[in-house]
Amino acid sequence: MAKILLLGSGELGKEFTIAAQRLAQTVIAVDSYEHAPAMQVSDACEVINMLDGEALDALVEKHKPDFIVPEIEAIRTERFYDYEKQGYTVIPSAKAANFTMNRKEIRDLAAKELGLKTADYRYATSAESLKMAVSEVGMPCVVKPLMSSSGKGQSTIKTEDDIEKAWNYSQEGSRGDVAEVIVESFINFDYEITLLTVTQRNGKTLFCPPIGHRQERGDYMESWQPATMEKHHLKTAREMADKVTEALGGAGIWGVEFFVGEEGVYFSELSPRPHDTGMVTLAKTQNFNEFELHLRAVLGLPISEITLERIGASAVILASGNSENPTFEGLEDISAAPKCDFRIFGKPTSRPYRRMGVVVTYDSLDGNVSEVTHRAKQLASKISVRL
C-alpha cells in the first residue's frame, strides 16, 4: 500500500484522505496547526510551517513517502524539484505545484508560451509602476498579489483614486517575500466555470462536466454541476485545459478556471489539485467525486470514464466571527430536507468568513440546476455557527 504525504490538511485534504482510507492507503497529514480536518481521519500527522524548506526536507526524509500530495499553495515548492531528482513522486509534478503558486509563472506560461487567451495583464512592483500598468491595461482592472489565494489582497480599480489603495491592500494580502502584483483588465464575463481535468499516468486526459460558481470576496459561495455552456465554448475550454496540464505535467486532478463572455473563453488560473468549487461532486453528481478521481490518478489506477449521474449544487457554510469552540445550529432543519446532504469540516477554531462546512443538494438528471442551486443556498443559510 502506498504512503501519501499530504501537504495541507483542510476540508479538501480531508475528503481526499477519506477516499484514500477506503482503499487502505496510508496518509500522513501535514499542516501548520493541530487537529486540522484531514488530520482527524489520517494515519499520522505532522505540524510544521510548510514554507520552511528545511522543515519540509526533514519531513520527506523522515517518512520517505511514495507520493507527495500538495493540498495548498503556501508551500516551499522550489524544494519539490529536488524531491523529484531524489526519485520522489510529487503530485501532479514539481513544476505544476511550483508554477501555480506564483501567478506570474502560470500566466506567462499560459498566455505567452501556450498562446491561451487571457485577460490583458501587466506586472507592477510599486504604487508608481502600478499606475503605469493601469494606464496600459485600462480601467476597470483587477490587482492581485503574485502569491495569494482565496482573493486575499485582491481588489478592483475603477478610478485613478483607487490605485494607491489597491497597492497598499495588495501588500497586506501578499504571502511570502514577493511584493510584485499582477494587474489584469476586468473581464465582464457572462459566467465563470471550473473545468475539473484529470491527467493519468497511463491513460488519456478526462474532463468532468463543467462546474458553474459564484464568488464573493474572492471565495466561492455556491457551485453547480453541470454549468450550462455552449458546446463550442466547452470544446475551447477543454483544449486549453489539455494544453496547460500537459505543459505542467504529471497525474492528478486539476481545477482549471475560465471566464466566458461575449468575446469567448478566457483562461484565468488553475489548481493542480481538487478545487473548492468541485465539492459539488460530493452530491454524487459523478460516478467518482473529485477526491476519488485525484486518488486514482495519484495511485496510477486507470479511470475509464467520468459520467454525470445526477445534477447537483453546493453552498458554503461560513463562520460569522471568532471562536475557539464553534458549534452548529440548524443541522436538524437541513437533515430533514429531501435530496440534501452536508459536511462539517471540524475546523477547531473559526474566524469571520472562514469556511466551516458545505451543503450539497441534488436531483435527477432531468431536474433543474437553478432550482437545485437555489435550494443549496437556502439550506446553507439555515445553518449558523455558534461562537
Ligand X SMILES: Nc1ncnc2c1ncn2[C@@H]1O[C@H](COP(=O)(O)OP(=O)(O)OP(=O)(O)O)[C@@H](O)[C@H]1O
Question: Could you list the active site residues?
Answer: 149, 151, 257, 269, 276-277, 355
Q: Is 103 annotated as belonging to a binding site?
A: yes
Q: What distances in angstroms separate CA 75 from CA 6, 191, 333, 366, one per listed residue?
A: 12, 31, 39, 43
Is 149 near ligand X (CB under 6 A)?
Answer: yes
Quote the CA–CA distance of 311 and 117 in Å, as a whole number. Answer: 30
Of the candidate residues 150, 320, 378, 384, the single one contacting ligand X (CB under 6 A): 150
Nearest-Å Rg of the Cα atoms of the chain is: 20
Q: Among all residues, whose Cβ is closest to ligand X?
A: 149
Q: Is 268 annotated as belonging to a binding site?
A: no
Quote the CA–CA distance of 182 and 292 in Å, as a whole number. Answer: 34
Is 309 near ligand X (CB under 6 A)?
Answer: no
Nearest CA to 121 out of 112, 323, 337 is that of 112
Of the candidate residues 5, 68, 142, 340, the single one contacting ligand X (CB under 6 A): 142
Of the pair 223, 361, the CB lying nearest ligand X is at 223
Quote the CA–CA distance of 38 and 31 in Å, as a whole number. Answer: 9
Of the pair 151, 203, the CB lying nearest ligand X is at 151
Is 194 near ligand X (CB under 6 A)?
Answer: no
Of the pair 273, 296, the CB lying nearest ligand X is at 273
Is 270 near ligand X (CB under 6 A)?
Answer: no
CA 83 centroid distance within chain:
23
State the helix-helix crossing angle for 53-63 and 78-85, rounded to 10 degrees: 30
Q: How many CB atoms lie within 10 A of CB 205?
A: 15
Provide the 3-class DSSP secondary structure of residue 205: strand
| Total number of residues that touch ligand X (CB under 6 A) | 18
Of the candidate residues 218, 261, 300, 348, the single one contacting ligand X (CB under 6 A): 218
Quote the CA–CA distance of 268 and 194 in Å, as a whole number. Answer: 10
Q: Is 346 annotated as belonging to a binding site?
A: no
Is 176 near ligand X (CB under 6 A)?
Answer: no
Q: Measured from the CB of residue 386, what is the shortest distance to ligand X in angstroms? A: 26
Sole window of 8-16, 31-39, 179-187, 230-238 interacting with ligand X (rule: CB under 6 A) = 179-187
Cβ proximity of 27 and 43 under 8 Å = yes
Of the candidate residues 11, 71, 162, 184, the single one contacting ligand X (CB under 6 A): 184
C-alpha cell belonging to residue 334: 437541513
Provide the 3-class DSSP secondary structure of residue 269: strand
Restricted to residues 100-129, the positions that interact with ligand X (CB under 6 A) are 119
Q: Is 149 annotated as belonging to a binding site?
A: yes
C-alpha cell belonging to residue 222: 455556491
Of the candidate residues 187, 208, 311, 334, the single one contacting ligand X (CB under 6 A): 187
C-alpha cell belonging to residue 54: 528545511
Q: Which residues, at least 6 apart from 272, have a Cβ–Cβ distance to it below 8 Å?
A: 70, 91, 92, 93, 96, 97, 100, 248, 250, 252, 254
**Binding positions for ATP:** 103, 144, 149-154, 184-187, 192
**Binding positions:** 11-12, 71, 103, 144, 149-154, 184-187, 192, 257, 269, 276, 347, 354-355
Which residues here bind ligand X, judged by CB under 6 A? 119, 142, 144, 148-151, 154, 184, 186-187, 192, 215, 218-219, 257, 268-269
